[in-house]
């Protein structure tokens, strides 16, 4: 799986959009970009994933650059409950990828009032 690079920490004001970047310059053609988050003392929570098109669900939007070397997770209206560590993971797709998810250090997002 390709390696990812994320900023160590970010701050965001409550009610504003949180934009979390991720670099994955060595991503392969069949690899998807996944985002998870982990709130303190809880299990990681799946947020969203995508291959090359932008994706949106009830939690967030994922914007992937055309060259696929980077992506941005957008939380449109951050709340205090969104304070967590956010992980960007690149993983082979096709429905055949079993085995470990490799979590890096992630980005600590702090949402403040």
Partner 1 sequence: DGGITQSPKYLFRKEGQNVTLSCEQNLNHDAMYWYRQDPGQGLRLIYYSQIVNDFQKGDIAEGYSVSREKKESFPLTVTSAQKNPTAFYLCATQQGGTDTQYFGPGTRLTVL
Which residues form the interface with partner 1 (CB under 8 A)?
A: 32, 34, 36, 41-46, 49, 91-105
User: Which residue, 81 or 100, is less far from partner 1 as judged by CB?
Assistant: 100
Minimum distance from residue 113 beta carbon to partner 1 (Å) = 26
In DSSP notation, 16-50 reads: S-EEEEEE-TT--TTEEEEEEEE-TTS--EEEEEE
User: Which residue, 100 or 113, is less far from partner 1 as judged by CB?
Assistant: 100
Name the E strands within 42-102. 45-50, 55-56, 61-64, 70-75, 84-92
Minimum distance from residue 74 beta carbon to partner 1 (Å) = 20
Minimum distance from residue 34 beta carbon to partner 1 (Å) = 7
User: Which residue, 94 or 113, is less far from partner 1 as judged by CB?
Assistant: 94
How far apart CA 18 and CA 78 sit, in angstroms, is 6
User: Which residue, 96 or 113, is less far from partner 1 as judged by CB?
Assistant: 96
Minimum distance from residue 16 beta carbon to partner 1 (Å) = 28
Neighbours of 23 (CB within 10 A): 16
Chain Cα centroid distance, residue 50: 10
């Amino acid at each position: 799986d390709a390696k990812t690079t994320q900023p160590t920490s970010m701050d965001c004001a409550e009610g504003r959009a949180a934009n979390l970047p991720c670099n994955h310059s060595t991503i392969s053609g069949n690899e998807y970009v996944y985002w998870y988050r982990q709130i303190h003392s809880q299990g990681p929570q799946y947020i969203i994933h995508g291959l090359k098109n932008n994706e949106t669900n009830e939690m967030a939007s994922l914007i992937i650059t055309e060259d696929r070397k980077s992506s941005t997770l957008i939380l449109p209206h951050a709340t205090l409950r969104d304070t967590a560590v956010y992980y960007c993971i690149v993983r082979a797709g096709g429905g055949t990828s079993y085995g470990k998810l490799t979590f890096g250090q992630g980005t600590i997002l702090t949402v403040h009032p």
